[in-house]
Amino acid sequence: MRAGPLHRQRRVRHWHRWVAMVTSCQLLLWTLSGLYFAFIDIDYVRGHQFKAAPESTQFDLSLLQVTGISASKIVITERRPNETVLGIYRDDKIEWRDDKGLPLLPLSGDEALAVGTAGTVMSLDRFEWVDREVAGSEYRGAPLPLWRLWESANPDRVAYLDAMSGEVVSVRHEAWRWWDFLWSLHIMSYDDRDTIGTWLLRIFSVLALTTAVLGLWLFRDTRRVKQDQ
């Protein structure tokens, strides 16, 4: 015997209920994280308000004693006052040299504090050497080695400074940490917090789509059954 519309509705409702139960928690996390992303300024999250405005620098390129460089790109910057350094890019790697063309030594901890304080609006007084990649770390994606700099009075606010170029590559604070945590829940990447397209995300995306399609089908079918009665 062919199943009637009411029997079909009950069967679809049964499946819709169980699929919705499985996906409801993740749907709530997607909604909450999406609200956070929508209402908070991304520049504030990235800590731009803690960085000092860059000042124009006049370079005397006649003092450079570097010739015959093979590179895809060369960056000239001032690491410390009156210290011109060159970043030489080759095959997505960068090599730093001084104005005489010699390999550049990394900044010391005290030098990093001075450079970091000048490059931010923070009163930095603590430093830590960072030379190892850690999945999901606050400094992921930044060039190593780095100096991790912070204030004793406010240890939750941290500046990461490139030990070779002296650039403040990022500033991390509580708003960023909340953003990062919610982002890991949003994309369902709990280890490195950067992988988009994990199997969990794909599975729950399909389940969420199934929940929506079943709900729309039930709405349409219910209305049709009522009209036929």
pLDDT in tens, 142-162: 999 999 999 999 999 999 999
Q: Mark whether 33 and 109 lie in a shared domain.
A: no
**Are 101 and 159 found together in one domain?**
yes
Backbone phi, psi, residue 122, to 5°: -105, 150
Q: Say whether both 55 and 168 belong to one domain.
A: yes
Report how many domains make up the chain.
Answer: 2
**What pLDDT shows up at residue 27?**
86
Model confidence pLDDT, tens digit, residues 162-189: 999 999 999 999 999 999 999 999 999 9
Residue (of 183, 215, 217, 179) closest to 201 by Cα position: 183
The residue segments making up the domain with residue 207 are 5-42+179-228
pLDDT of 8: 60
108 with 156, same domain: the answer is: yes
Q: Which residues of the chain have pLDDT under 50?
A: 1-2, 225
pLDDT of 56 reads 80
**79 and 137 in a common domain:** yes
Residue-level pLDDT at 1: 42
**pTM, to two decimals:** 0.82
